[in-house]
Amino acid sequence: DTGVSQDPRHKITKRGQNVTFRCDPISEHNRLYWYRQTLGQGPEFLTYFQNEAQLEKSRLLSDRFSAERPKGSFSTLEIQRTEQGDSAMYLCASSSTLAGANYEQYFGPGTRLTVT
């Protein structure tokens, strides 16, 4: 069990550019979540996948944001035409719904995005 990993850890981009983040969940976990955390706040739910299906999306996820989990393993979160308000820590988490699982979400270290 290597834990949830995220790449890159830090990203600085100019306003208007597109960025993509990657999350690798714990290998046996079938659920994957994306959260956004701004300074001084708790994480806010963005979206989650069960296997490759995206089952819920928050209203925070504007049409500039898109997430995929094509083979039910890793996931990507893309932000198009970034705005300064997108500057935040983007956290990924995973959990299992298999028999005997405990619904605990395990978080990765996050990707800190700075839009200049």
Residues that bind another protein (CB under 8 A): 4, 31, 33, 35, 40-45, 48, 55-56, 58, 91, 93, 95, 97, 102-110
CB of 81 to another protein, least distance (A): 26
Per-residue 3-state assignment (H helix, E strand, C coil) for 80-104: CCCCHHHCEEEEEEEECCCCCCCCC
Nearer to another protein, 21 or 33 (CB): 33
Q: Which is nearer to another protein, 79 or 93 (CB)?
A: 93
């990924």: which residue's tokens?
Answer: 92
Dihedral over Cα of 105, 30, 28, 96: its sign? positive
CA gap 54, 45 in Å, rounded: 13
Nearest approach in angstroms of CB 35 to another protein is 8
If the CB atoms of residues 28 and 56 are measured against another protein, the closer one turns out to be 56
Shortest spacing between CB 66 and another protein, in angstroms: 19
Among 67, 90, 91, CA closest to 4: 91
